[in-house]
Chains A and B, each alone.
Chain A
Amino acid sequence: MGIEKILGDNIILTQLNKIVNWARKYSFFLYPFITACCGMEFMSVAGPRYDLDRFGAALPRFSPRQADLMMVVGTISHKQAPILVKVYNQMAEPKWVLSYGVCACSGGFYNNYATVQGIDTLIPVDIYIPGCPPRPEMVLDGLIKLQKKVAEERFSDWPKGASPVAGV
């Protein structure tokens, strides 16, 4: 962001902050990182009945470079983990991560050799939506909560940098 450099510590900054956040929170561009069962529910969320479009988060971008909200939908196995970190690091800032479903949040009931026990061991997560799979209403609720979180962010929060886990 160049705005904070130009304006410095001006009084107007808080207002601009709000405007930018307002714009950001209603225009999420998703990157659906779909791996498992939750993807079926994601289709419903994006589909006609629950309609993610109402919240300004309709258009999935399948290139991480164009997306700012990464939805990790489903179980992340250890084979998949390096790919997740890579895709996260490819996304441009500001970026947010939504952990969709209990497998992404904590590994769920797959407490075994194959499954990552929560994606927060790999990348920073902004919002967790539990459920196996979460109902669409929960996802919409989670999205609204994320919007609230975005509205309270400050320019100094960014950039957050690459994932703390060493990339491959």
Chain B
Amino acid sequence: MTDLKQGLHTNYMVLNMGPSHPATHGTVKFLLTLDGETVVDCDVEIGYLHRGFEKMCENGTWCQVFPYTDRLNYNSAIINNVGYAMAVEKLLGIDIPERCKYIRVITSEIARLADHFTNIGAAALELGAFTAFLYFVEVRELMWELLEGVCGARLTSNYIRIGGLYRDLPSDFKERVKKAFTKSRSLYNDVDKLLTKNRIFLDRMRDVGAISSEEAIAYGFTGPCLRSCGVPYDVRKANPYLIYDQLDWMVPVGEKGDNFDRYLVRMEEIIQSMRIVEQALKGIPDGPINIDDPRIRLPAKDYVYTSMEELIDHFKVVTEGIKPPKGEIYFAVEGANGELGFYLVSDGGGKPVKCRVRAPCFAITQAMPRMVKGGLIADIIPTFDMINLIGGECDR
């Protein structure tokens, strides 16, 4: 073999993968240096979906931030809503009614389900398993139908408000969830059979993109990607918020931290999220969904139209915005990709001075070069799928 290579002019090839590439279901560019098919170097270029989230938030009132948070991780918009609302509530130092907490948990977990279904479905599609994609898109459709019944929008929900919710659950929500989950479980089992022991899928996923737990922590991994390395860190368990500590559920962890473990962790989280929703629906109490404080939460429309006091409150909240005290807080919830933290700074005025999002996939994406170096170019696809880069969240 050495004789053949003598005098042969070989060189590294530089290849642009993206930013508009069918397999990178987000806009990201990999600048690859290749030795044959082996990746020697990789530079990840992000920012193609930078939409100025923070600048827009700083120029709106505290309530006007919600639509922008929807479009961070657009697969699981409600989790972002919850994270931001709870951050502002922490800044204000208020507590919300019990029923509101339950509804927030239920809707967050349905959003998480939709996110995981999309992620696995898209990953399967890109690895050639088209049937699994169709099944999971159908399940996601069921989840979105549930959310549509709650808030009127399929994807970008804008459902949570500071100190409450946009509106209550529909009266037949329990039956709807039961029906949707029965169908989802059956489709989930089909996909499980199609993928989990599928030889092609296993070969593409197993031992690819592995990372050790020490390295994952140094890179700032959170969420399913960290748990697949065997670290059971979940914000819902570590710093329980809402009612997560009252429910019975488990944190699945992996062993090797490779793509297949990430896939398995997500598949198991789907089961756990369904359990959370069912338990929360069983224990949901009656009562108000909004706090009774006209300086923070808009009064009900009926009163606004009929009473002077409420009209003034409504007018003041809308025009001036709520006014949290001077200070700064950091609050994290468990997003679908990991720790979704909000860092808010207030100067006591109607607009945030700073509204920073700690995006989980931003930290994970920067480990892409580490995970793909030395592997084959085809291994980039499953690795990239399993870190679940969401452009809106990563680039903000």
Question: Taking the complex as formed, is B25 at the interface, i.e. its CB lies under 8 A from any CB of chain A?
Answer: yes
Question: Taking the complex as formed, is A99 at the interface, i.e. its CB lies under 8 A from any CB of chain B?
Answer: no
User: Per-residue 0/1 for A102-144: is the Cβ within 8 Å of any B Cβ (1 yes, 0 no)?
Assistant: 0000000110111100000000000000001101000000000
Within 8 A of B (CB), among A62-117: 62, 74-75, 77, 79-80, 83, 87, 109-110, 112-115
A80 and B19 form a contact (CB under 8 A): yes
CB neighbours (8 Å) of B156 from chain A are: 37, 132-133
Bound Cα distance from A35 to B393, whole angstroms: 12
Q: A49-B138, A133-B156 are in contact. Are A83 and B19 (CB under 8 A)?
A: yes
CB neighbours (8 Å) of A33 from chain B are: 20
Among B27, B56, B138, B154, contact of A48 (Cβ-Cβ < 8 Å): B138
CB distance from A71 to the nearest CB of B (A): 12
Bound Cα distance from A112 to B59, whole angstroms: 10
A43 and B137 form a contact (CB under 8 A): yes
User: Per-residue 0/1 for B1-25: is the Cβ within 8 Å of any A Cβ (1 yes, 0 no)?
Assistant: 0000000000000000001111001
CB distance from B222 to the nearest CB of A (A): 22
CB neighbours (8 Å) of A113 from chain B are: 52, 55
Bound Cα distance from A35 to B50, whole angstroms: 11
Question: Taking the complex as formed, is B333 at the interface, i.e. its CB lies under 8 A from any CB of chain A?
Answer: no
B141 and A39 form a contact (CB under 8 A): no
A47 and B138 form a contact (CB under 8 A): yes
CB neighbours (8 Å) of A133 from chain B are: 154-156
CB neighbours (8 Å) of A62 from chain B are: 21-22
In the complex, the chain B residue whose C-beta lies closest to that of A61 is: B22
Within 8 A of A (CB), among B302-351: none
Q: A47-B137, A77-B49 are in contact. Are A34 and B25 (CB under 8 A)?
A: yes
Bound Cα distance from A109 to B57, whole angstroms: 12
Among A77, A83, A115, contact of B20 (Cβ-Cβ < 8 Å): A83
A110 and B51 form a contact (CB under 8 A): yes
Question: Taking the complex as formed, is A44 at the interface, i.e. its CB lies under 8 A from any CB of chain B?
Answer: yes
CB distance from B144 to the nearest CB of A (A): 8
User: Per-residue 0/1 for B132-157: is the Cβ within 8 Å of any A Cβ (1 yes, 0 no)?
Assistant: 01100110110010000000001110
Q: A34-B25, A37-B392 are in contact. Are A114 and B134 (CB under 8 A)?
A: no
Question: Taking the complex as formed, is A57 at the interface, i.e. its CB lies under 8 A from any CB of chain B?
Answer: no
Bound Cα distance from A5 to B25, whole angstroms: 42
Among B47, B71, B134, contact of A47 (Cβ-Cβ < 8 Å): B134
Within 8 A of A (CB), among B101-153: 118, 122, 133-134, 137-138, 140-141, 144
CB neighbours (8 Å) of A36 from chain B are: 49, 71, 74, 391-392
CB distance from B330 to the nearest CB of A (A): 25
CB neighbours (8 Å) of B50 from chain A are: 77, 79, 114
A35 and B391 form a contact (CB under 8 A): yes
Bound Cα distance from A115 to B140, whole angstroms: 29
CB neighbours (8 Å) of A77 from chain B are: 47-51
B56 and A40 form a contact (CB under 8 A): no
Bound Cα distance from A60 to B133, whole angstroms: 15
* Interface residues on chain B, number (Cβ under 8 Å): 33
CB distance from A52 to the nearest CB of B (A): 12
Question: Taking the complex as formed, is B388 at the interface, i.e. its CB lies under 8 A from any CB of chain A?
Answer: no
Bound Cα distance from A119 to B140, whole angstroms: 30
CB neighbours (8 Å) of B49 from chain A are: 35-36, 74-75, 77, 80
CB distance from B254 to the nearest CB of A (A): 26
In the complex, the chain A residue whose C-beta lies closest to that of B56 is: A112
Q: A33-B20, A112-B56 are in contact. Are A75 and B51 (CB under 8 A)?
A: yes
CB distance from B75 to the nearest CB of A (A): 6
B138 and A40 form a contact (CB under 8 A): no
Q: A41-B154, A80-B27 are in contact. Are A35 and B138 (CB under 8 A)?
A: no
CB neighbours (8 Å) of A87 from chain B are: 20
B25 and A49 form a contact (CB under 8 A): no
B52 and A115 form a contact (CB under 8 A): yes
CB distance from B316 to the nearest CB of A (A): 23
CB neighbours (8 Å) of A47 from chain B are: 133-134, 137-138, 141
In the complex, the chain A residue whose C-beta lies closest to that of B51 is: A110
CB neighbours (8 Å) of B133 from chain A are: 47
In the complex, the chain B residue whose C-beta lies closest to that of A136 is: B154
Can you sample 5 A-B contacts with CB below 8 Å? A34-B27, A36-B391, A43-B137, A49-B137, A133-B156
Residues of B within 8 A of A (CB): 19-22, 25, 27, 47-52, 55-56, 67-68, 71, 74-75, 118, 122, 133-134, 137-138, 140-141, 144, 154-156, 391-392
Residues of A within 8 A of B (CB): 33-37, 39-41, 43-44, 47-49, 60, 62, 74-75, 77, 79-80, 83, 87, 109-110, 112-115, 132-133, 135
**Complex A-B, nearest 3 residue pairs according to Cβ-Cβ distance, in ascending order:** A62-B22, A37-B74, A47-B137
Known: A37-B155, A79-B47, A113-B52. 17 other contacts (CB 8 A): A34-B25, A35-B49, A36-B49, A40-B155, A41-B155, A43-B118, A44-B144, A47-B141, A49-B137, A75-B49, A77-B50, A109-B56, A114-B50, A114-B52, A115-B51, A115-B52, A135-B154
